[in-house]
Each structure stands twice: as structure tokens, then as C-alpha cells.
Amino acid sequence: MGQPVLQHVSLAERIYLVRSSVMHDVLDVLADPWQLAILKSVLHNPLRFDEIIGRLGISRAALSMRLNLLCEHNCLQREHYGSSGKRFEYRITEQGRDLAPVFILMDQWNHDWLGSPLETAHECPHCLQPLRLQVICRQCRTPLRPLQLKPLFFDENESLYAEIPDYRRTRSTPGKNDTDPMLIRAEAWLRDRWSALIIGCLLFGIFRYADIQECIDIAPNILAQRLDLLIRGQMLQRREDGGYSLTERGYALYPMIQVMRAWGMKWLPGHSPIKHGWGLLHTPCLSWFNPVAACIHCQMQYSV
């Protein structure tokens, strides 16, 4: 598979695209295995503190910290129960519920590429077929193709600049040292900030080692380690010119990345095409790309 449509976009502009992406703030909310698991556990029914512990096996301190963060980010809300007024159950908000398609797309990736059984089997509420989601353009209803998305700048400021977000403290890795990279799950690749940022660089046409390092200001030893892990996991491959490109397996993460990006643009403050001066143009219909997670059979939008 080729690179997305990026003709006439300079390296400085590509770096700006990565640095100004809403995905940095999305990962602040979702780049944690417990936070994803908590949101999935309360997606359909509110749960009490001890019920979440029983389902997930998480420590009380770790759960308390993450519940506070998810409430601060308006993905969960607390509701009193009992007469004391000191006990709460946790209910997902509309904002948190909008992540439901991401969970299903991750589940599909794990099923397709790892052979994992689907965690939940759903029927489409519209056509009653077994639910399988695809990401389509809201305007023209055609399936997402990376080659058909083009970053379009409408800010004429020639001195594009974006500071590198403060993500250097991350110590997470996609898997343990003894984990076979071919068994790493979709959510693990995406919640690891370095792996997600490297994939983002490749999606925006930054494929040389030195350019990736400059873009995300990553230490050479960490970059070498992540590139090796991504190659062994068959997420990317070496190019004949010495650069890197995504494989079909790596590109299969793209639909969920776009849904996560759209979620961030909708719900996280301070993000808009106007602020950053660029948007993603869907070239088949010449409209700003607005992804919809829809049933592959009837193309009706999925929502919980």
C-alpha cells in the first residue's frame, strides 16, 4: 500500500502535522490499559467501585486514580447510591460512549490479525446482521482509504511551529520483554506513545530515521528499539531507500486512529482545524473528512 496523498507538503509542514495533532491529547485520556478497560466495563451498565475491581482485578489505589482522571475528562460521571451519600456508582457519559466504535474496531483488528476471538458478538440494530464496522466518509459514504486523504493548509503563516508535547516521561512499552511482537494487540500498539507517534510520522510521509527523530524528539536508542519492535511485529518494513513504511497490518490501525482523532476533535477542548490551520481533505468528494463507523452490511452509523 502506498503513502497517503501528501504531494507538495514540505518536511517542516509534515512535522507540524504530527506535533499539532489532537492525538497527543487523545492519548492522554486513552494511553493506559486500565482506562480503556474501565470504559469498556461500564459501557452498557453503571458499576460500583467494588464491582469494577471484581471485573478487572485492579488495585483500589490504581482504580481510584483512573476513575478520577476519567471523570475529570468527562468520560465518566459519579452518581450517589445508598443513604450515606458517600458511595458512588460510575456511569459512562455521552463523551465516553462515543468511544464505543473504537473498542469494536480494536476487537476486529485483534480478531483479523491475531486470531483472537471477538470479545463481544453484536448484531447491527438496523439490519440484524453480525456487526462488523468499517469507517466511511460522512459526506460521500465511501470507505476510508489513506491514499484519499490529503492534509490541506489554509493558514498562510509560513513559519509553522508547534512545540513537542510533554510526553517524554512515558515508560510504557507495547508488550513485556518476552512478548512475541506478533501477538501485541491493537490497543497496546496505540496506547504506547512512541509506537503511536512513529506510526503517525509514517502516515504523514515522514519515513526517514533522522526525520522521525527530529519530529518527535525521541532518544536514538528508544527510536531504534521501537522501530525494531514494529518491524518484528510486521507493523512496518524497511524501504529500499533506507526509510520505513507501514505494512498492510500497520495500515489496518488507520480506521481506529481516524475515529479516535474525530473523537478528540469533537470532545477535547482547544482543538479545531481553525486553530491548527489545517484539515484532512477527502479527495473523492472534496469535503473535510468526517469519519463515521458504520455497519459494513447496511452502512448505518453505529452507536450505543
Domain assignment of residue 295, yes or no:
no
Domain assignment of residue 265, yes or no:
no
* Residue 139 and residue 155 in one domain: yes
Average pLDDT over residues 89-118: 95
How much of the chain exceeds pLDDT 90, in percent?
67
* Residue 201 and residue 63 in one domain: no
* Residue 251 and residue 129 in one domain: yes
Tell me: the pLDDT tens digits for 221-263?
A: 999 999 999 999 999 999 999 999 999 999 999 999 999 999 9
Overall number of domains in the chain: 2
Tell me: the pLDDT tens digits for 181-201?
A: 999 999 999 988 899 999 999
What CATH number should be reported for the domain holding residue 87? 1.10.10.10
56 contact partners, CB below 8 Å, separation of at least 6: 34, 37, 38, 41, 63
> Which residue(s) pair with 244 in the sheet?
238
For residue 54, pLDDT over 90 is answered with yes
pLDDT score at 155: 64
Judged by DSSP in three states, 287 sits in strand
| 113 φ/ψ angles, rounded to the nearest 5 degrees | -105, -15
Judged by DSSP in three states, 144 sits in coil
Domain assignment of residue 175, yes or no:
yes
* Residue 137 and residue 252 in one domain: yes
Work out the number of other CB atoms within 10 angstroms of the CB of residue 300.
Answer: 13
pLDDT score at 172: 64
* Residue 251 and residue 134 in one domain: yes
pLDDT score at 2: 55
**End-to-end Cα distance, the chain:** 33
94, 113, 130 — which closes off a domain?
94
Domain assignment of residue 124, yes or no:
yes
Domain assignment of residue 297, yes or no:
no
* Residue 144 and residue 83 in one domain: no
Domain assignment of residue 285, yes or no:
no
pLDDT score at 226: 95
* Residue 134 and residue 84 in one domain: no
The amino acid sitting at 67 is L
* Mean pLDDT of the chain, nearest integer: 89
Q: Parallel, antiparallel, or unpaired: how do β-strands 87-92 and 236-238 relate?
A: unpaired
For residue 101, pLDDT over 60 is answered with yes
Report residue 276 CA to chain centroid gap: 19
Tell me: the pLDDT tens digits for 219-232?
A: 999 999 999 999 99
233 contact partners, CB below 8 Å, separation of at least 6: 174, 181, 182, 184, 189, 249
Q: Which residue has the cell 475515529?
A: 259
Out of 95-109, 113-127, 271-285, least confident range: 271-285
* Residue 18 and residue 140 in one domain: yes
Domain assignment of residue 286, yes or no:
no
pTM: 0.90
223/227 Cα distance (integer angstroms)? 6
131/116 Cα distance (integer angstroms)? 16
Tell me: the pLDDT tens digits for 174-183?
A: 876 778 999 9
pLDDT score at 118: 87
Average pLDDT over residues 129-158: 88
Q: How many Cα atoms occupy the beta-carbon half-sphere of 85 within 13 Å? A: 0
Judged by DSSP in three states, 118 sits in coil
206/182 Cα distance (integer angstroms)? 24
226, 243, 260 — which closes off a domain?
260
pLDDT score at 163: 77
Which residue range forms the structural domain that includes residue 27?
11-31+101-260
> Which residue(s) pair with 90 in the sheet?
47, 78
* Residue 191 and residue 130 in one domain: yes
218/223 Cα distance (integer angstroms)? 6
Domain assignment of residue 287, yes or no:
no
* Residue 128 and residue 234 in one domain: yes
Q: Which of 172, 220, 221, 214 is nearest to 27 (CA)?
A: 172
For residue 288, pLDDT over 90 is answered with yes
Task: Give the distance between the most distant pair of CA atoms in the chain.
Answer: 68
pLDDT score at 7: 60
* Residue 199 and residue 73 in one domain: no
* Residue 70 and residue 213 in one domain: no
Tell me: the pLDDT tens digits for 18-38?
A: 998 999 889 888 888 789 899
- The answer to whether 37 and 76 have CB atoms below 8 angstroms apart is no
DSSP annotation of 131: P
10/79 Cα distance (integer angstroms)? 50
